Structure 1
Amino acid sequence: MHLTWLDSNSWLVEIAQKRIAIDPWLVGVLSFGNQEWLFKGVRSQDRPIPESIDLILLSQGLEDHAHPPTLKRLDRNIPVVASASAAKVVQKLGYRHVYPLLKGETWKLDNHLEIRATQGTPLGPFTLENGYLIRDLHQGTSLYYEPHGNHDPQLKDLAPIDVAIAPIINLSIPAIGSIIQGPERALELAQQIRPQFLLPTAAGGDIRLEGLINVLLKAKGSAKALQAQLQQHHLPTQIIEPQPGERIELKLKQPAAP
């Protein structure tokens, strides 16, 4: 299994000889509803569009997960597995093969991979976004992704899972509370699914953040502190912090049984 972190929540996952782009933001500015005074993410430079993408996986419909300028640059024939809200975004952009998944539903790619939607982040009273469990149907290796720390309590029934991509830093706004839940939720996740490796997501990387929200954001936690907690709880999980654009190989032990 190879992983490349592309800043923020954007990843390229290579598993079962397939290349999956997760929540890609690769080009242009990131803002919400074009309100750049409120929040603006700026790249030092655009990232190259990865070649030979077999699948796009979108966890949420907001711009930091379903980024329209990036999605406009990708091939509309690439299949997209998405939350219900993200599916609407790519359908409006003209993607031809869109597969919305609700919690517990699965989708297979060429009988090589199974994508299972898990409970993700609630955005309002009527919108529940997705986490995902990706499983290599031949090798048995597995990867879990959820970008806000809202982990499905039923994940324990799918454990162990080899690799987890999840936030390890808590980001909060005064008077609103946590918008990304890191250290405590990451520890609970490791106790639930006992991954061999945990890779942090939702960090900035080569990105400059501007706007009112960025001024108000408060961060808490670190990889070093979480690794110490994992050791205190006798958990074997190793935290790996890749550099933006770095392609890393995860040498897994015996694949976890489903």
Structure 2
Amino acid sequence: MLTGFHCNTLPFSCLPSRRSRTRTTDIILSALSKTPRFTSACRSSVPIHPTAFNFPTRRFSKVVSALVSEENAVATDVFKLTYLEGNSWLWDLDGVKVLVDPILVGNLDFGIPWLFDAGKKFLKSFQLSDLPQVDCLLITQSLDDHCHLKTLKPLSKMSPNLKVIATPNAKTLLDPLFQNVTYVEPGQSSEIEGRNGSKLRVKATAGPVLGPPWQRPENGYLVNSSQGQLTLYYEPHCVYNQNFLEKERSDIIITPVIKQLLPKFTLVSGQEDAVKLAKLLHAKFIVPMKNGDLDSKGFLASIIQSEGTVESFKCKIYKCYDRKFCYSC
């Protein structure tokens, strides 16, 4: 079965924010079946048979608990995924709150606003003070669209002892700001403990190389829930090392599916690469992120081209699993 959802009040959700719920992100639930089906909203549990995913029954019950409305959620291993636009997320994983690549103060301009300047379309008034108490800050890359100093400097003053897990490439940026930073190379792991006592295991994976070939790659992450029942994978450019991931599994992947292209250079991958990623990790849930969907201006913004859509990605998923038809095509 391949089922698409618009989730707006789910424990496993992709909300722009508590303030602005006018825009949602598709969650694509994929597994092998002959009858694809799409639903426009899901506020209650979704009737899916465990054998559709080749899950053990006990494990499947945990996954389905992620598709129960907030008002009725009582199960463990509940993931709430709140999209803050760009590459930014707020995750509530079993009650452990993780802030990911936040851009919440000012625009994204890489220090060259005349060349590129991007603001959010929906969360224009969202501030650091609107965040709940966060248990961990997770940084994937060292560039401004992930390690945003305009945001991190005031955040460090608010929470100087906040636990940070980051790529070593960001060490010179983060060391002056935070006192509790753990740098993890691809293959290394760290643990997060939330205020509620729940724990998460975070394992770094190899992401893109932003420089010469001998430079250390940036990070993606595999995050395991405290019960070990759900695993989430996140890498914001859909760039990954296939050999590194071939022995890994992830129930949920968060990935861009729309390519962002400069002339002769891919900024953000997606489409076929996102399909390959889903197959590689045997993903059950795919959360497409639109990290190029910003109000941007400047010369660089004028030459960045998008390739593909969420709908075309759905079609590629169908074809990958030998579907005979697709409602989106």
Instruction: Report the TM-score, using the length of structure 2 for normalisation.
Output: 0.67
Equivalent residue, structure 2, for 1:105: 188
Letter in 2 for 1:209: S
Shift of 1:197: 1.5
Matched residue of 1:86: which SS? helix
In 2, are the aligned partners of 1:26 and 1:46 still within 8 Å (CA)? Answer: no
1:254 corresponding residue in structure 2: none
Tell me the equivalent position of 2:146: 65
Query: 2:88 maps to what in 1?
Result: 10
Distance 2:139 2:163 in 1: 11
Which residues in structure 2 correspond to 1:29-108 (within 5 Å)? Answer: 29-32=107-110, 34-43=111-120, 45-49=124-128, 50-74=131-155, 75-92=159-176, 94-108=177-191
Instruction: Kindly report which structure 2 residues correspond to 1:97-176, keeping only aligned pairs within 5 A, or say none.
Output: 97-110=180-193, 112-125=199-212, 126-153=215-242, 154-159=244-249, 161-174=250-263, 176=264
1:12·1:22 contact (CA, 8 Å) conserved in 2? yes
* CA–CA separation in structure 2 for the residues paired with 1:54 and 1:42: 26
Structure-2 separation of matches of 1:17 and 1:235: 38
Do the aligned partners of 1:194 and 1:235 also contact (CA within 8 Å) in 2?
no
C-alpha separation in 2, matches of 1:235 and 1:54? 42
Secondary structure class of the residue paired with 1:227: helix
- Counterparts of 2:272 and 2:321, CA distance in 1: 16
Contact 1:106 1:116 in 2 (8 A): yes
Matched with 2:288 is: 200
- Stretches of structure 2 that go unaligned for 5 or more consecutive residues are 1-78, 324-329
Tell me if structure 2 keeps the 8 A contact 1:28–1:46. no
- 1:132-167 alpha-carbon deviations (Å, 9 max, x no partner): 0010131421110001111231222111x1111111
Deviation by residue 1:153-187 (Cα, 9 ceiling, x = unmatched):
1222111x11111110111111x321111111101
| Aligned AA (1:77) | N
Instruction: Name the SS of the counterpart of 1:229 in structure 2.
Output: helix
- Number of equivalenced pairs: 231
Q: Which amino acid aligns with 1:148?
A: H
Q: Runs in 1 of length 4+ with deviation above 4 angstroms? A: none
Quick one: percent identity of the two aligned structures?
Answer: 29
**Matched residues in 1 for 2:306 and 2:94: separation?**
36
Residues 6-55 of structure 1 deviation map (CA, whole Å, 9 limit, x = unaligned): 001100111121000110001202111x2111111123524232111000
Deviation of residue 73 (structure 1)?
A: 2.4
User: For 1:22 and 1:201, how far apart are their aligned partners in 2?
Assistant: 13
Cα distance in 2 for residues equivalent to 1:232 and 1:19: 36
Q: Which whole-Å CA distance do the structure 1 matches of 2:82 and 2:235 have between them?
A: 16
Give TM-score, length-normalised by structure 1.
Answer: 0.85
CA contact (8 A) 1:27 1:46 kept: no
Identify the match of residue 190 of structure 1 among 262, 267, 278: 278
Distance 1:70 1:179 in 2: 23
Could you tell me whether the CA contact under 8 Å between 2:260 and 2:292 is conserved in 1?
Answer: no
Q: Given the alignment, which residue of 277, 301, 308 partners 1:221?
A: 308
State the alpha-carbon separation in 2 of the partners of residues 228 and 172 from structure 1.
21
2-side partners of 1:156 and 1:48: how far apart? 39
Which structure shows the bigger proportion of residues in strand conformation? 1
> Could you tell me how far apart the structure 2 residues matched to 1:88 and 1:142 are?
30
Query: What secondary structure is seen at the aligned counterpart in 2 of 1:122?
Result: coil
Partner Cα separation in structure 2 for residue 88 and residue 19 of structure 1: 25
AA aligned opposite 1:121: P
Say whether the 8 Å CA contact 1:28–1:43 is kept in structure 2: no
The structure with the largest alpha-carbon Rg is 2
Contact 2:85–2:291 under 8 Å retained in 1 = yes
CA distance in 2, matches of 1:177, 1:43: 24
What 5-or-longer segments of structure 1 have no aligned partner?
237-258
Equivalent position of 2:29 in the other structure: none
What is the letter of the counterpart of residue 155 of structure 1?
L
Higher RCO (Cα < 8 Å, 6 or more apart): 1
